[in-house]
Amino acid sequence: MRILALDSSGLVASVAIVEAGPVEQETIAEYTVNYKKTHSQTLLPMLDEVAKMIELDMESIDAIAVAAGPGSFTGLRIGSATAKGLGLALKKPLIHIPTLEGLAYNLCGTDKIVCPIMDARRGQVYTGIYEFDGDELVILEDQMAISVEELGEKLQNVEKEIIFLGDGVPVFRDVLENRIMSGKKVSFVPANMNRQRAASVGALAVAYYRAGKIETAAEHQPDYLRVSQAERERKERLGHD
């Protein structure tokens, strides 16, 4: 099985090719960029470069996995449009990977409670609460948009050590460590594991594919969880008219 994985849900743009046999799987290629350019400028050129480097026949792909939200509205639209376009052109199914699950899969196999946090602005985080049974991701709290204080309340009864990752860590680490999670055993992943990776999306997608969790390109829609800033501002303007 060969999976093309895409993630443009956050600050990072990432493309990977993951191959899986009956027992083992491996990442054949991964290209990740965290720079000033927009994902519309980077995602397809990155895929083209990966395809050239590993002499990839796009027809050999079995499915296209995409980090489908929540996250950056623009980034999600770019990732979804790219995945849908490729799926339609290649006649391949899509695998819809919730962004927080893909991010949590960076820590596959850990014995800690995994809590990815993405900065959702307006005092909120996109988050979920997970643990692993071997390499199987177990959802304790499905992905949501809540305040960091509400997240702290949800984690108060957790007995195990909690490990945080995601672009929300630099924003909220101090308040989590010294106020909200004071007295709880918490840790934070190192920088090299802290952001979205298409290889993790692809690895999780293998399990989704084998479980039959696929969709057509026409069916795919991103999960925003919240309305966009433009939509919020429009509603606020209309409310004042």
Contacts of 200 (CB under 8 A, 6+ apart): 102, 103, 105, 106, 108
Under DSSP, is residue 217 helix (H, G, I), strand (E, B) or coil?
A: coil
Check whether 233 has a pLDDT greater than 80.
no
Under DSSP, is residue 14 helix (H, G, I), strand (E, B) or coil?
A: strand
Check whether 34 has a pLDDT greater than 50.
yes
Band of pLDDT at residue 237, cut at 50, 70 and 90: low
Check whether 103 has a pLDDT greater than 90.
yes
For 21, 63, 197, 203, the CA distances from 166, given in Å and listed in that order, are 30, 26, 11, 18
H/E run at residue 13: strand 13-20
Tokens of 150: 């509400």
Check whether 36 has a pLDDT greater than 90.
no
CB-side exposure of 132: number of CA atoms within 13 Å? 19
pLDDT digits (tens, 9 = 90+) for 192-219: 999 999 999 999 999 999 999 999 999 9
- pLDDT value for 228: 47
For 32, 105, 147, 227, the CA distances from 14, given in Å and listed in that order, are 4, 15, 27, 25
Q: What are phi and psi of 238, to 5 degrees?
A: -65, -35
Band of pLDDT at residue 120, cut at 50, 70 and 90: very high
Percentage helix, strand, coil, to 5, in the chain? Answer: 40, 30, 30
- At position 195, the amino acid (one-letter code) is R
Contacts of 51 (CB under 8 A, 6+ apart): 58
List, in order of start, the domains of the chain with CATH numbers: 2-99+196-234 (3.30.420.40), 100-193 (3.30.420.40)
Contact 29, 176 (CB under 8 A): no
What is the DSSP code string of 23-79? S-EEEEEEEEE-SSS-HHHHHHHHHHHHHHHTT--GGG--EEEEE-SSS-HHHHHHH
Rg (CA), the chain: 18
pLDDT digits (tens, 9 = 90+) for 170-198: 999 999 998 999 889 999 999 999 999 99
Contact 80, 220 (CB under 8 A): yes
Band of pLDDT at residue 130, cut at 50, 70 and 90: very high
Contact 116, 125 (CB under 8 A): no
